[in-house]
A = this chain, B = another copy of it.
Amino acid sequence: MNETRWLDDEEQRAWRSFVRMTEKLNARLHRQLQTDSELSLSDFAVLVGLTDVPTESLRVSELAAALEWEKSRVSHQITRMERRGLVERVDCPNDGRSAFVNLTACGRKAIEAAAPQHVETVRTLFLDHLTRAQLKALGTIADQVLEYLDSADAS
């Protein structure tokens, strides 16, 4: 059992600020979407995932892969969204186990209505406060960290 290498002052401060920022940012974005468009960030993610493909339809497992969500999470989410008419499940003819998730007209309307406001909020709450250089730097940081996290996923 080694000595713990605690965070020094700078690390402490940066890490705390970072965590606090992401939590607040997330809470704000969620709230904005919820109150303005009656969608959660999860709803939004699913709708984006579906609109991103030309058919506006994906099998549950494809959706799970695209969002990097667990299958069961997708399943629960789809169940809830189906109740609200945002998406629909359709049995797959080729594969009796599989199910398609289709975007409904209602779902398309919902995301088209929500997206502009959401983007605007991302700007107001976040992007507006960064210079281009900072944006670039942040992107690099995220990609570096993701490279590790993704590789660790694989193993």
Contacts and interface: CB of A to CB of B under 8 A. Distances in A.
A140 B126 CA distance: 13
Interface in A12-45: 13-15, 17-18, 20-26, 28
Contacts of A145: 21, 25, 125-126, 129-130
Contact of A139 (B4, B10, B26, B68): B10
Nearest to A122: B15
Contacts of A25: 145, 149
22 contacts: A4-B115, A4-B120, A5-B119, A5-B120, A5-B123, A6-B119, A7-B127, A10-B135, A10-B136, A11-B127, A14-B135, A20-B146, A21-B141, A21-B145, A23-B68, A24-B149, A25-B145, A125-B148, A125-B149, A130-B144, A130-B145, A137-B138
Contacts of A149: 21, 24-25, 28, 125
A21 B127 contact: no
Instruction: Report the copy number of this chain in the oligomer.
Output: 2
Interface of A: 4-7, 10-11, 13-15, 17-18, 20-26, 28, 68, 115-116, 119-120, 122-123, 125-127, 129-130, 132, 134-149
Contacts of A132: 10
A122 B149 CA distance: 12
A28 B152 CA distance: 10
B24 A139 contact: no
